[in-house]
Amino acid sequence: MNKEWKVFLTAVQFLTRIRVPASIHHQPGLMQQAPRYFPLVGWIVGALSALFFLVFGRYISTDVGIIASMCTSLLVTGAFHEDGFADVCDGFGGGWTKEKILLIMKDSRVGAFGAIGLIFILGTKFALLRELPGFIALPGEPTHLIFYHYRYFILALIAAHSVSRLMAVLVLQTGSYAGNPDQSKSVSMTGGRLSIPALILATAFALAPFAFLPWPFLLTVLPALYATYELYRYFKKWIGGYTGDCLGAIQQVTEIVIYLGFIIVWRYL
């Protein structure tokens, strides 16, 4: 249990800005096993985002609550995945060879494609999240039941953050690393594969929120899987595999796909 706790804290340290004990370092052995807890880290990010939505949405407005939720996610993760998405937009938007694409993605500066991509991804996320609070009961219900009334919204956030991180784990498991391992922050993760039990554990963490939802919401995982497949196939075509930035882009895109799926299921199924 002590080792598993360290592996979990390594995942928290890698994916977020949450402080962990000073004894936790980026040890290769722990880093290689950390992806099994990526979906669980998604639980933390989603839950904190939902909490700040509830506070600001309750006392100010729904729109402010959504902005607070998005800001919370950005602050907790240090915009880790958004940065990867922007780099992918710059790299694949401005490069026409593998070497050029990888070179642009390593550049810390954000170009026009990256800025446009961030505006698009954040704007889309806001628009979709704005539809999700429609899951709650009508105004005037007892305020002490706020967690019950917002249960679908809370679970949607947790599910989106956990499933989208599982998609990145699946690419880590099945894909080929295309960058220079010596320059990768996640070199230890790209050098090995999770065991079958560890992969099952990661999947269980990702799918657990759906146990508290009507079963049709589970269908939202299918388009997320398809989006992951198409994104990886695109990356494979141009650069021969994935990089850390590609994984960040996969997380961002599939998070949005999950939100969209929740809205569609809620309205039509």
Q: How many CB atoms lie within 10 A of CB 206?
A: 27
For residue 102, CA distances in Å to 91, 96, 238 come to: 7, 10, 10
126 in a domain, yes or no? yes
- 242 forms beta bridges with 177
1 in a domain, yes or no? no
Q: What is the pLDDT of residue 185?
A: 59
34 in a domain, yes or no? no
76 in a domain, yes or no? yes
19 in a domain, yes or no? no
The pTM for the full model equals 0.92
148 in a domain, yes or no? yes
**Helix residue spans in the chain (DSSP H):** 2-15, 28-33, 38-59, 62-77, 80-94, 98-106, 112-131, 146-149, 151-174, 187-190, 196-207, 221-239, 244-268
Q: What is the pLDDT of residue 2?
A: 82
Q: What is the pLDDT of residue 144?
A: 62
24 in a domain, yes or no? no
Q: What is the pLDDT of residue 137?
A: 52
Q: Are 162 and 205 in contact (CB under 8 A)?
A: yes
Alpha-carbon distance of 204 to 199, in angstroms, equals 9
64 in a domain, yes or no? yes
In tens, the pLDDT along 210-255 reads 999 999 999 999 999 999 999 999 999 999 999 999 999 999 999 9
Instruction: Provide the number of structural domains found in the chain.
Output: 1
- Which of these, 77, 107, 96, 98, lies nearest to 252 by C-alpha position? 77
* Rounded mean pLDDT, 78-102: 95
Boundaries of domain holding 71: 39-268
